[in-house]
Copies of this chain bind each other. A is one copy, B any other.
Amino acid sequence: MESSTVTGGGSSRREATRQKLYEAAVTLIAEQGFSATTVDEIAERAGVAKGTVYYNFASKSVLFEELLRHGVGLLTASLREAAEKTAKDGGGTVDALDAMIRAGLVFIERYPAFTQLYVAELWRTNRAWQSTLMVVRQEAVAVVEGVLREGVERGELSNELDVPLTAAALVGMVLVAALDWQSFQPERSLDDVHSALSRLLQGRVSGTR
């Protein structure tokens, strides 16, 4: 029986184990933080022995770094797809941003633990995995920046717009609103959250109507 090659990685027994370890680690680290999560816990949750963790990953930190890369890879792919699909359907820049907001919300709804963990670690300094985190952050923000920049070039967005800062602000808006939604108002629908953010993006906050 050979490789039913799923995207990017082979599907050996080993790969399945790694996947289980990712899933176990992401939940535990999101809840407790990296340091408070023990390798024993991760192994137990994944249903494997502790030694297996070290057979598959060089160290606890390396497991975490690869988890980060894996997760952000999924996010950027999703954002990029949303932007491209909008462009192909003849939508403008604002439509693309709106589609990316929705894609971001869908991602966070699906992988809340990863999002939580990412936010918690992103601005720490002096950590072993800081360089990985920087790279991975830039990948994600770059997608948003790209759409903004193109919008400015095409005259659809104000040329006074500060691309990097606005990108960060938009990402933050979605991130925090979504985490708050998940944590404190889980009964709300994704559409609710999306329309509230959409309204904010399009400046339809002021005015009585």
Q: Which residues of A contact B (CB under 8 A)?
A: 30-36, 94, 116, 119-127, 155-162, 164-166, 168-177, 179-183, 185, 188, 192-193, 195-197, 199-209
Contact = CB atoms under 8 A, between A and B. Distances in A.
Given A126-B31, A181-B168, A209 B158 contact: yes
11 contacts: A120-B120, A120-B121, A122-B179, A155-B208, A162-B192, A165-B177, A165-B193, A165-B196, A166-B196, A171-B176, A172-B172
A181 to B, nearest CB: 7
Q: For chain A, what secondary structure do more than half of its interface residues adopt (helix, strand, loop), or is it mixed?
A: helix
Nearest to A116: B123
Given A124-B30, A124-B32, A200 B155 contact: no
A149 B123 CA distance: 32
9 closest residue pairs by CB, A with B: A203-B203, A172-B176, A35-B35, A35-B36, A168-B180, A165-B196, A169-B177, A162-B196, A120-B120
Contact of A165 (B156, B164, B188, B201): B188
A9 to B, nearest CB: 28
Contacts of A202: 203, 206
Nearest to A202: B203
Contacts of A123: 116, 119-120, 179, 182-183
Given A169-B176, A172-B173, A188-B165, A206 B156 contact: yes
B120 A157 contact: no
Given A158-B204, A185-B164, A203-B206, A127 B176 contact: no
Contacts of A116: 123-124
A126 B172 contact: no
A175 B176 contact: yes
Nearest to A194: B165
Contact of A33 (B124, B161, B193): B124
* A120, A123, A175, A197 interface centre (most CB from chain B within 10 Å): A123
